[in-house]
Structure 1
């Protein structure tokens, strides 16, 4: 239920505040409006005796009652319909209800029915977020779910880095396919599948008896790397073009990993066209004068393909993507040829 304000809100007999909090934010870290509502309330109620906020609220001097009143009981208390409960004050009371993480559907539905009936004198109703998720907070859910699956699923609990390696390759290719197809729904799903592989491998790595590491270590490593390799963003250096950035990136990588050749670190097991384009990119970025293969008619087929890959890279074309596009068109032509006349 969103924010609901009666027609004459200033004359509303009392106030019911449904206070929501995020389990992805440390307990006790609440917004100022939330603290103001809690400290100014006549009663603060929470049905969950184990709610993570309770110890921090009590430490801050906020008295919280464990209670699960019905919608009508809350309305009567705030409006003075139940004068004994309201201390004979005739209404005008404020109650803050700290909701559970899943929300209190029965209570909110009950309040909505009373407000919509037109027969009940209603207090002011407000849904007040006490804490908000930061960007990326749902990643915490993924880590938690992965931990549960690893512990309780018979299949996931026995997987290894080696056994999952093929899935990482498959998911990466499916991601590329979604990008090239321009399918936004597929793109979102495939990004999730790739992210799952990262979290899965990190969870397995936690169990290594000799060199364990966690998803936090993985994230920390890449954060440090990104900051170190972007001095034009986080430091005092400057980069005018993307080529400047790429050149600095390669120099930094070479210094970090003590590489002796620009070809160091290029995985030779990747698809051949991608490998050729990667080598050509390193040569061009390093400004090396390397003789190109002879692609003239009669030359070796491999040399001709290599020359085409180098040419594509120089023209800013991904030869792998270009060949896949041509292959898809060829597939469509095959399917057309297979149709009966």
Structure 2
């Protein structure tokens, strides 16, 4: 029999697992977990008996060991250690019980900013006005990194600029009636409206196919939006 190590995403609601994960849990002779968290409790609440594990997992055929939530590296290291140098006589399988969707890392940024806003005196004291100069500074640093052509530097600077977006949205959530979800929803809706050749080609008399045609379409739609709402700030 195979021992299995189950990996769960912290960004997916507890109890939402893949069919492979449920099959592994319900078919196991023993299910162990080294931590007690909402994901483990949800599994136990479903009727699966979960035993508390202590120390490092030992090789137990037929056992499912639930990895610390989100720690795929731990799961793979444990699996490699349990299988031994030959990797064949003691089969261990890593089972992914839930997966992160593309962009799910943004949830971590929002969560970190929420905690900083609550617990860090400096972060809590900031306002839109006190942070305004940093938006410009970070945008300039992104531009410089792009001109340098250093991909890792670009990634780092884009992260700093993203922090400013999340920071301002977090402040706005406290006083202005909108938050980071509204920011994301707004730009998603704009991208859909401004790109009908992708999202609604059936509504067009002519579907643009060149970059110049698509740019001209964007500008026409922007002007139409501005005419219908002169107090908006379409870009």
Shorter-chain TM band: 0.7 to 0.9
Corresponding residue for residue 212 of structure 1? 177
User: Deviation of residue 110 (structure 1)?
Assistant: 9.7
The structure with higher relative contact order (CA 8 Å, sep 6+) is 2
Matched, 1:57 2:43: yes
User: Deviation of residue 179 (structure 1)?
Assistant: 0.9
Structure 2 gaps of 5+ residues are none
Q: Where does 1:107-256 land on structure 2 (aligned, <5 Å)? A: 112=81, 115-116=84-85, 123-208=90-175, 211-235=176-200, 236=202, 237=204, 238-256=207-225
Matched, 1:23 2:21: no
CA RMSD of aligned residues (A): 3.0
Q: Is the 8 A contact 1:70 1:110 kept in 2?
A: no
SS of 1:17's partner is strand
C-alpha change, 1:123 and 1:226, in structure 2 (3 Å) is same
| Structure ID, larger Rg | 1
SS of 1:135's partner is coil
Corresponding residue for residue 320 of structure 1? none
Matched, 1:39 2:4: no
Structure 1 gaps of 5+ residues are 1-13, 79-92, 268-341
Q: TM-score, normalised by structure 1?
A: 0.60
How many correspondences in the alignment? 228
Q: Is the 8 A contact 1:70 1:107 kept in 2?
A: no
Corresponding residue for residue 278 of structure 1? none
Q: Is the 8 A contact 2:79 2:93 kept in 1?
A: no
Per-residue CA shift, 1:40-68, capped at 9, x if unaligned? 1011111323x222343234332222333
